[in-house]
Structure 1
Amino acid sequence: MADPSWLDKNNITSVRLKTSTGTVEIGQLEAFGLFGQTFLVILYSLSTFFALTGNTLVILVEIYGRRSARNLQKFLINLAISDLLLGVLVTPFIYTDIMLGRWIFHPLLCPVTQFVQLMSVFVTTYTLTFIGIERYVIFFFEFFGLTYKKKRKYRNSDF
């Protein structure tokens, strides 16, 4: 088992509330209240669940289905994988950080989580951009009746 010496249990963020009867010190997790905690747990759990199931279904449909164009299929699978990374590998860490108000995991996981989050958002943004460009080009060629023909280097009579 790993040595959890990096986790300093004495350094806990707390909130002090002044009331008419005196000052009450509560932990950061309790600062949200029961309704806030319940709401955040349900929100993040549903978000992670739908990210996992929805994107897995998209990947399966795109792999085994034959309806979308081959180019678009690659983009949609790429988009679903980046959303899976964000929903499964990043969301639980963000949830824990928000609820507790501090990072409780190994210090090495903090930059790794940030990298995965930034990479996933980057891939999602560029995938959506490329889908838009590809759809525009297809529309442009169809609308104006243009065709793309490869120029042959040799004619049939050359062989």
Structure 2
Amino acid sequence: MTGAPINQAIVSVSNETKETNQQGLCIIENYTTQNDESIENRILVVEKDDDQCMSVDIYSYASVPDAYVWHVFNDRGLYKPKEEVHIKGYVRFLKVKDEAKLPTYAHGTIHYTIYDPRGQQLQESQVELNNYGAFDVKFTLPDNVNL
């Protein structure tokens, strides 16, 4: 995953379907989950060629302040001591003015600290975001790490 935008992906939610633009974005207008408990209206599906992604329990909100939006993941759920951990993600900046505006790629440096499940610090460092607001962190777990 590079964090690069995906053009012409099909985005479906409720009874509305849109296609993403060159920035990988689209707007679903008039979407609301208020007073609607049906699961069909709370599933977002994105499709491109043979790939498909689904997000369940989405909700609409009346207003959102300016915010950084993150998506962070690793290559697997569990690691053993001395194994290399790979953490990737991307960051967008959502600027809201009058109406919700489309997110832009975040730029700059992220300072981060990684802790084990017991709160012991494993690593503190920084990583530079690429042109798409994506980052990649790699580190090796110590031999005596508490997992």
- What TM-score comes out, normalization by structure 2 length? 0.19
Which structure is higher in helix share? 1
Larger Rg: 1
More strand by share: 2
